Amino acid sequence: MKIAVLRGPRDLHIEERELNTSDLAPDEIWVETEITALKIGTDRGNYEGAEQVPGAPGYPRWVGDSNVGTVRGIGAGVTGFQVGDRVVSRYHHQSAFVGRESESIVKVPESVDSENAVFSHLYTLSAHCYRKAMFTPGENVAVVGLGVLGLGAVALGPLFGARVVGLGNSPARLEMAERMGAHACFMSDDADLSAKLDEFTRGAGIDLVILTANPWPAFRTAVEVVRDNGRVAIVALPGRGEPPLDFNPLDMRWFYNKGLALVAVSQRGGDLFPTESDRFDGVRGCEHTLALMEDGRLEPRRVITHRMKYTEMVEAYEMAYRREKSMLGVVFSWRE
C-alpha cells in the first residue's frame, strides 16, 4: 500500500509499504481507501514543523486523519461490518489499512456521498464545540476562524438552534460561511464590528464564541466580542507557530472583568444528565453527524475547492503552507 510520510518539516513523500491482509485477526477490518481529506490548520502546522502537539509522534510520521474507503475483508469475530461497506475513519493519507472494529470506524449510509462523509469526523469535532460549552438553543454564536472546522460549526449551528455569525479575515471565507448557513458574516477587523454585532444580537450580545483559528489576533477577537459571562469554546491551538505575544491573553479587561469561561474543546462534553458511557463519543458523535448528512441537512462538500490525486499531495501541502486563501476543502483520490 501507499502512505504519505512526513520525514521532516516540508519533506513529504508517498512511500510504498507492506500491508498484510491475508491473515486478519478476529477483530480486524481491511479497508481500501477511496478518498482522504486535508485538514488545513492542523495538517499545515505539522507540515511546516510548528510546535508539536503533545502526544504527536516525531519524524518520520503519518499525516491526515480523514479517510473514506470500502471494506475488503473482515476478521472472523467482526459483527458490525461486512465486505463492501463504505466506512469513514481517522486513518491517515494511505491507500489501504487494517484497523480494529473497536476503533473510530463508522459505516457510511448508502445515501451519503463520500465527499460529505470524509468530513464527518471533523464536523463531529465542530459539533463538540457546542456540546462542551453547554450550548442552549436560541443563543447567539460567533465562529472565529472560517476554515473547514469553523465552517462545520457554522453549518451545524442553525441545525442546533443557534443564530450564527461568521467572523473571518477573507471576503471569500465570509461568502463561504454564508453558503454554509451563517445568518450574518463580518470581517474580524471591521471598525464597526461591535455595533454590527450589537445589531445582530438585538443588544443581547454573543453568548458563545467558537474559536477555530490559532493566531493570537483571533483569540483576542474572540474574548473581545463575547458578552459578559459568556463562553469561548477553544478548538484551536492558540499561538501555535506564532511569534511572541504583544498582549496578555488573560488581561482583566477580557477575562476576569467579563467573567468569561474559556472552554477547551477536548475530552468528554458537558452533560447535565450523564450516561454510563460517553453519549457522543467518537463513534456515536460521528453517527449523528452522518445522520444529518443522510437527511440532506448537512453538506460539507460545499466547502471543497480542490479535488486532487494523491500524487499531487505535496503540491496541496505547499499551497496550504503559502496560506492561499483560495484553498479550503481539499480531497485526495486514491483510486488508480
210: which DSSP letter?
A: E
Assess whether pLDDT exceeds 90 at residue 57.
Answer: no
How large is the average pLDDT for residues 125-151? 95
* Domain annotation covers residue 323: yes
* Domain annotation covers residue 122: no
How large is the average pLDDT for residues 132-147? 96
Label residue 46 by pLDDT band (50, 70, 90). confident
Q: Are residues 91 and 145 in the same domain?
A: no
Share of the chain above pLDDT 70, in %: 98
pLDDT of res. 54: 57
* Domain annotation covers residue 79: yes
pTM: 0.91
* Domain annotation covers residue 91: yes
Q: Are residues 202 and 305 in the same domain?
A: no
C-alpha to C-alpha distances, 160 to 146, 148, 156, 203, 320, nearest whole angstrom: 19, 18, 6, 22, 31
94: which DSSP letter?
A: B
Residue pair 210/191 in contact (Cβ under 8 Å)? The answer is: no
Per the listing, cell 450589537 goes with 198
Single out the residue of 327, 259, 307, 280 nearest to residue 106, CA to CA.
280
Assess whether pLDDT exceeds 70 at residue 51.
Answer: no
Q: Are residues 159 and 229 in the same domain?
A: yes
* Domain annotation covers residue 324: yes
CATH code for the domain in which residue 258 is found = 3.40.50.720
Domain assignment of residue 140, given as a range: 134-264
Q: How far apart are CA 333 and CA 101, in angstroms?
A: 24
Label residue 49 by pLDDT band (50, 70, 90). confident
* Domain annotation covers residue 293: no
Q: Are residues 64 and 143 in the same domain?
A: no
Q: Are residues 163 and 232 in the same domain?
A: yes
How large is the average pLDDT for residues 156-175? 96
pLDDT of res. 242: 79
Q: Of the ranges 2-16, 107-121, 276-290, which one carries the lowest mean pLDDT score?
A: 276-290
Assess whether pLDDT exceeds 80 at residue 272.
Answer: no
How large is the average pLDDT for residues 234-261? 87
pLDDT of res. 91: 96
Question: Pairing mode, if any, of strands 206-211 and 140-144?
Answer: parallel
Q: Are residues 47 and 151 in the same domain?
A: no
Q: Which three cell numbers stand for residue 63?
A: 499525516
CATH code for the domain in which residue 51 is found = 3.90.180.10
Please, what is the average pLDDT of the chain?
A: 92
How large is the average pLDDT for residues 10-29? 95
pLDDT of res. 254: 85
How large is the average pLDDT for residues 273-288? 84
pLDDT of res. 269: 77
Question: pLDDT per residue over 184-221, tens digit each?
Answer: 999 999 999 999 999 999 999 999 999 999 899 999 99
Q: Of the ranges 7-11, 223-227, 238-242, 273-277, which one carries the lowest mean pLDDT score?
A: 273-277
pLDDT of res. 186: 98
Please count the structural domains in the chain. Answer: 2
* Domain annotation covers residue 146: yes
Q: Are residues 210 and 253 in the same domain?
A: yes
Q: What is the largest CA-CA distance in the chain?
A: 64
State the amino acid at position 20 in one-letter form: N
pLDDT of res. 55: 58
